[in-house]
Structure 1
Amino acid sequence: MEEPEFSLGIEEEYLLVDAESGELAQAPDALMQACKTELDDQVSPEFLRCQIEVGTPVCANIGDARTHLRHLRATIARQAAQFGLAPISVGCHPFGNWRDQHHTDKDRYHQLSRDMAGVARRMLICGMHVHVGLDDKAQRIDLMNQLSYFLPHLLALSASSPFWQGVDSGLASYRTTVFGDMPRTGLPPRLSSWDQFDRSVGLLIELGIVEDASKIWWDLRPSASFPTLETRICDACPRLDDTITLAALIQATVRMLWRLARGNTRWREYDTFLLGENRWRAVRYGISGGMIDFGAGRILPFPDLAEDWLALIAEDAEALGGQPATAHLREMATQPGSADRQRTVLSRAMAAGATRDQALCEVVRHLIDEFRHDLQAGDADLNENGNSCN
């Protein structure tokens, strides 16, 4: 069995905020043009005008992916600063109201708004998608069925959306519940073959329900545009290093599953009923509540799961050159996740005498700082443009 290249591509969605007030801001046409001039097709508008999407080119390894994504983030931050704006990478804005937002003037988005009605208007959410290259269609389906086991773990690590319209939802990933209002979302079904997937999508196309497979919005899917498996479950991550670690984990886990198949074995597949329970734990608690280990028959704390995961993929991370990135999983598993960090910022600000509105603005300042943290070294233009959410 010839080994695939396991190439990588990462897509991220950002929200644009006013650097002073922290409020959501629509992307000026001049900003989008400046970004397009510098980044070409690696940047595009998203459904809502306060959003912007970036995507790396096809990357041979995680080091290349980090270089490209760092450049994309730094460029967006630098260009946005010229307009008094700042990007944040987060599942939901801490206090933004979806009713005040407008969708981008493109035929695709007009159609989406018509089809999804009020559901589409609430899509004030941002995610992160990771593509791993697999040329063989049958292999994509086979590995998708097995990779689904790890989707809740990835969501738990990325969970960054505790607030919705200024209210603490009590969840770590409120974004997941908002996106779940859309059709054809959630955990992917277990499929027997590529032909079954193709027939099922083909039926929806024949009925005029969807134009193509890009309207299949599962947490994990065969990409409609590329020969890849596309992981879509993650909240957008405030920190670049966390995004890169998640991408490296996905890449190495796909290779691990391929390696098992090469040895005529496979990862055990569990019913989506059980996987859905872990998915809910990720939505509710992030990493703080642990996950069900179905083999052991008990709930394990995330640091223990992280060690088991790293042991499973050690050979694969080494083969792919991803060990430094995957090793960061230990820190992610033992430190507060983004949802808890945001709550801590809010509570500390209020304990210091801030009003709730002022404290929520401090949360936005925190998210601006986290976006910029891994970009500052060696980026003089970025360093010269400070942001203040007052």
Structure 2
Amino acid sequence: MSNGTGSVCGFGIEEEYLLVDLDSGQVLARPSRAVTRRCQETMGEHFAEEMFCSQIEVASPVFGNLHEARSFFTQSRHTLRNVLLDEGVGLYCAASHPGAQWRRQHARNLPHYRQVFDDYQIVARRSLLSGLHIHVGVPHGIDRMQLINQLLYWLPLFLALSTSSPLWSGLVTGYRSYRRVVCAEWPHMGMPEPLDNWHDYQRYRRLLQDVGGLAADGDFWWAIRPSRRFPTVELRICDACPRLEDGLAIAGLFRHLVEQTLLLSQRWQPISNELRWITQENYWRAYRYGCKGTFIGVQDRHPVSAEGWLAQLQSLMPPDTQDAEQAFYQARRILSQGTSAERQLAMLAGALEQGWEQRLALKAVVEQVLGEVCQSAG
């Protein structure tokens, strides 16, 4: 079903946020009941609790175009910001907090999350991190694992466009996405297993369930996965984006990639081991260097910048809708101006060069991120 713009696949976006004290800039260890209640009342069915008491998620309705997505998230960010401002709380939308006092955080007291913390211990307790998740609808009859295999090579590019977690526990980590470093400590949270089709996916699930490695209703947390709840493929590799337009560009690009790949379904080929190896190498380079990295290009395997890599995607799958054109335009802006990771590092370095104490320099980074979220809220 077309939405009138030439696109055929509906999509949805999930944004995760940390709740921070506006005075100290620190993540709230245990927000008041009033804070949680007001968030729930404000967002209704689109509000979701996350594994920490200090973290919430906004899950969108299904969108037909980026204009609808922009309107929804501009309004939701604006409303949440104003509601939380009355409580002295800010909405922090980057993948890591520069202070990251994870030892002080409290797990959400729900059976599912209690089980998660019991199973994964310190790995779960350290995961005070926020992501951007994008669902794109897939027509009935399409093998979603075969589709994922066709998309796999481009996933690190989406990470490079989103990086926003260069700081952790007061330290410069050396990684543009330290979130993905922490993700590697979890099982089933990296790249998808090499499964050729849906049948193999089901066999893999049953195997893990039979040996006690996965609950009957358990999920994989791969960088991209077939959703169990919806007929979608879900992109999970991306860091949370403080600037709404950056997140929308990534959503638009991913939707365009899915739609164009579906049009070529008669020519799909099994993914080669070589392409998996290259994807894994590009993945590491993306979370280490972000958009400043050098990657292995799709054409002749030559080294390519992030800008060149995006240009390769555009040449192979030219934009055919206004949404796609806008997404490519904004993606080029991200790569030319830098992601949140670059802005955070520049803010920290500038403050320290001016003689600021480390604590105040880190707070300046927090205020920068909060400011970008506010600007996106109108």
TM-score (norm 2): 0.93
Note closer, same or farther for the CA distance 1:271–1:302 as it changes in structure 2 (3 Å cut).
Answer: closer
Secondary structure, counterpart of 1:314 in structure 2: coil
Which residue matches 1:351? 353
Secondary structure, counterpart of 2:113 in structure 1: helix
- Residues 1:91 and 2:101 aligned together: no
**What root-mean-square deviation, in Å, do the aligned CA atoms of Structure 1 and Structure 2 show?**
2.1
Which residue matches 1:236? 240
- Alpha carbons 2:352, 2:361 under 8 Å: kept: yes
Report Cα offsets for 1:9-56 as digits up to 9, x if no partner: 101111111111101113322222222222212112210111111110
- Give the unaligned 5+ runs of structure 1: 377-390
> For 1:186 and 1:213, how far apart are their aligned partners in 2?
20
| TM-superposed deviation, 1:203 | 2.5
- Alpha carbons 1:260, 1:266 under 8 Å: kept: no
Amino acid at match of 2:362: L
Structure 1 stretch displaced more, 40-49 or 24-33: 24-33
| TM-superposed deviation, 1:266 | 5.8
Secondary structure, counterpart of 1:14 in structure 2: strand
Structure 1 stretch displaced more, 197-206 or 44-53: 197-206
- Alpha carbons 1:91, 1:236 under 8 Å: kept: yes
> For 2:60 and 2:186, how far apart are their aligned partners in 1?
26
- Residues 1:119 and 2:106 aligned together: no
- Residues 1:258 and 2:249 aligned together: no
Note closer, same or farther for the CA distance 1:315–1:171 as it changes in structure 2 (3 Å cut).
Answer: closer
Report Cα offsets for 1:73-117 as digits up to 9, x if no partner: 222212211110101111110012111111111111101111112
> For 1:10 and 1:339, how far apart are their aligned partners in 2?
21
Report Cα offsets for 1:329-373 as digits up to 9, x if no partner: 111111122111101101111122211111000000000011111
Which residue matches 1:326? 328
> For 2:294 and 2:31, how far apart are their aligned partners in 1?
39
Structure 1 stretch displaced more, 197-206 or 284-293: 197-206
Note closer, same or farther for the CA distance 1:265–1:24 as it changes in structure 2 (3 Å cut).
Answer: closer
Q: Percent identity?
A: 34
Q: May I ask how many residue pairs the two structures share in their alignment?
A: 373
> For 2:256 and 2:354, how far apart are their aligned partners in 1?
44
- Give the unaligned 5+ runs of structure 2: none
Amino acid at match of 2:345: R
- Alpha carbons 1:134, 1:227 under 8 Å: kept: yes
1:1-390 equivalent positions in 2, closer than 5 A? 5-25=8-28, 26-136=30-140, 138-212=142-216, 214-262=218-266, 264=267, 270-318=274-322, 321-376=323-378
> For 1:212 and 1:75, how far apart are their aligned partners in 2?
37
Note closer, same or farther for the CA distance 1:368–1:173 as it changes in structure 2 (3 Å cut).
Answer: same
- Alpha carbons 1:130, 1:232 under 8 Å: kept: yes
Runs of 4+ in 1 over 6 A off after TM superposition: none
Note closer, same or farther for the CA distance 1:324–1:203 as it changes in structure 2 (3 Å cut).
Answer: same
Report Cα offsets for 1:289-336 as digits up to 9, x if no partner: 132114322211122222222233334444xx4322332111111112
Note closer, same or farther for the CA distance 1:141–1:34 as it changes in structure 2 (3 Å cut).
Answer: same
| TM-superposed deviation, 1:213 | 5.8
TM-score (norm 1): 0.90
| TM-superposed deviation, 1:273 | 2.1
> For 1:73 and 1:63, how far apart are their aligned partners in 2?
15
